[in-house]
Amino acid sequence: MAAAIAELRLTLGEDAVLLDSREVNGMVEVTAAIPAQEDEPWEVLPDAPTALPFAALPDAPLLLLGQAGAGKTTTAVKLAARHKASGTPALVITTDAARMDHLAAGMRALSMGFVVAANATALRKALSRAAPGQPVIIDTPACNPFDQAQARALLPLIAQASPLLLQPAGLCADEAREEAMAFHAMGVRHLLVTRADIARRGASVLAAARAGLSLTEAGTGPAEGLQPLSAAWLAARWKDVSWT
């Protein structure tokens, strides 16, 4: 049999695949095939970006969630600037007592203060300071939703607010879907897409939406800030972006 396989490789090449073998009159008969060789790479395309779920931002208090670098603090400052410009200054809270420099700098630029609430009890007291109808924005530490300890630590905060996942555009679609599903299991139902101005791929947005999250807004360049998401906006903004 070993000699037959060696002869097979010699005749058909190293890529030959042995399909069957049998002994016939003291000899070994083999059936083999050669895999088709493709000159170009191939890819599996997702469904067309239709019938996506869109929604407005959840009602206050708004709890910003996401992994490290997702843009939570930058988005908190942008939202605070929006509310200040509309004449309804927001109460801004951070539960990330270990890392406040970025938020402090942004709020200082707006001539606004903020509140630090290092745990769920402190957050409850901070929320009680909000005036009736006042917008509330809550920044949080980075969370890896696949780390059970980190995920559990967020649950008491999620119970007190409307959670919003922030996810950068341009991620691998599988990673975006798995992250969205993990946060969905924690009670998150809304997504804000960050870095929408620089992403060259849009499949992550589709994947997160199909994991059960409604698309709300997109973070773009400093001049544009945040933009409500819609099918028309996606089509116009990312008409030349790959959806794979």
- In this predicted structure, the answer to whether residue 231 has a pLDDT above a threshold of 90 is no
Spatial distance between the Cα atoms of 185 and 143, rounded to a whole number of angstroms: 14
In a domain, 49, yes or no: no
In a domain, 47, yes or no: no
Say if residue 8 is in the same domain as residue 69: no
- In this predicted structure, the answer to whether residue 230 has a pLDDT above a threshold of 70 is yes
Helix axes 148-158, 120-127, angle to 10 degrees: 20
In a domain, 73, yes or no: yes
Confidence grade of residue 242 (pLDDT, cut at 50, 70, 90): low
Say if residue 233 is in the same domain as residue 121: yes
In a domain, 55, yes or no: no
> What are the residues facing 30 on neighbouring strands?
21
Q: Which uninterrupted H or E stretch holds 33?
A: strand 27-33
Confidence grade of residue 190 (pLDDT, cut at 50, 70, 90): very high
- In this predicted structure, the answer to whether residue 216 has a pLDDT above a threshold of 80 is yes
In a domain, 39, yes or no: no
Spatial distance between the Cα atoms of 97 and 160, rounded to a whole number of angstroms: 18
The per-residue pLDDT for range 65-122, each reduced to its tens digit, is: 999 999 999 999 999 999 999 999 999 999 998 899 999 999 999 999 999 999 999 9
Tracing tokens 């959840």 back to the chain, one arrives at 58
Contact call for residues 74 and 106 (beta carbons, < 8 A): yes
- As for how many domains the chain has, the answer is 2
Nearest C-alpha neighbor of 62 from the set 149, 11, 130: 130
Give me the sign of the Cα torsion angle 166, 168, 169, 173.
negative
pLDDT at residue 43 in the model: 47
How confident is the prediction for the chain on average, in pLDDT? Answer: 85
Say if residue 19 is in the same domain as residue 112: no
Nearest C-alpha neighbor of 213 from the set 231, 190, 229: 190
Range of the domain at 137: 62-237
Spatial distance between the Cα atoms of 225 and 215, rounded to a whole number of angstroms: 16
Helix, strand, or coil here: 202?
Answer: coil
> What are the residues facing 194 on neighbouring strands?
168
Say if residue 110 is in the same domain as residue 164: yes
Higher pLDDT among residues 125 and 201, named by residue: 125
In a domain, 57, yes or no: no
Say if residue 21 is in the same domain as residue 69: no
pTM for this predicted structure: 0.77
